[in-house]
Amino acid sequence: MHIPDGFLDVKIWAPTAVISICALSYASSKAREALDERQLPALGVMCAFIFAGQMINFPVAAGASGHLLGAALATIILGPWSACLILATVLAVQSLFFQDGGIIVLGANIFNMAVVAVTASYYTFRLLERLKAGTMIAGFVAAWLSIIAAAVFASFELAISGTAPLGIVLPAMTGWHALIGIGEGIITAVVVAFVRRSNIFGRHNNAGEVTANEA
C-alpha cells in the first residue's frame, strides 16, 4: 500500500499532504490531553510492532505494495489520536530511512493509512460494539475494513493521477488486501481480546472509553 514517488500527480499528493498535516496537528493536541506518562511505553511498543509488520510487504499493482497495516490494533487499544501519530511515525521512518514509500507522496500515504484506515477502524469497532457483536468480531471486522478502505483510497489516487486505470488497480489492490485483511483481522481480534482481559493499558484498552476521555 506504500505508494512510491512519481506515481501520484501533484493534484493528489499536495491536498492529501495538507489534510495529513492538519490531521496530525489535531491528533497531537488530543493525544497530549488523553495520555499520561504511564501510557508512553505502550506507544513505543505499538510503534515497533506495527513497524515490523509493515516492513514485510510485496508488490501488488501500479507500484504499490501490500502488507499488514496495524491501524485497527493501535486504534482499538490506544485510541484514534495516538494511532494516527503512531502510523504517521512508522510511515515517515520507512520513507526516509528505508525507501519504503515515497517522500514527496508521504502525505498521501499518511492520509491513506494513518487517517482513512484509523477512522474506518475506529467507527466500525464502536458501531459493532454498540450492536453487541463482541470484542473479537468487532476487532476482526474493524481491521479488515481498515485495510480495504486504505486500499480503495490508494487505488483512486493512482487512477486519478493516470498511473493505472481504475479497472485494473482497484480490483488488484482490494483483492490482495481483502486477503491480507483476514490475517490482520485475526491478529487484531486475538491481541485486543488479550489486552482487554489483562487490562495491560488501563483505560486505553477500550475504544469507547478512549472516546469518552479524548473527544
Q: How does pLDDT run across 69-115, given as a tens digit for each residue? A: 889 999 998 899 999 999 999 999 988 988 878 899 999 999 999 99
Nearest Cα residue to 215 out of 126, 90, 111: 126
- pLDDT tens across 146-199, in order? 999 999 999 999 999 999 899 999 998 898 889 888 888 998 999 898 888 876
Longest pairwise C-alpha distance within the chain: 49
pLDDT reported for residue 41: 72
pLDDT reported for residue 98: 83
CB atoms within 10 A of CB 51: 18
Cell of 198: 489483562
Domain residue limits, the chain: 10-214
Whether pLDDT at 214 is above 60: no
Cell of 5: 514517488
Element (H, E) at 69: none
Nearest Cα residue to 128 out of 111, 151, 144: 144
- pLDDT tens across 6-54, in order? 999 999 999 999 999 999 999 999 988 877 666 667 778 888 878 777 6
Three-state SS for 111?
Answer: helix
% of the chain with per-residue pLDDT over 70:
83
CATH of domain 10-214: 1.10.1760.20
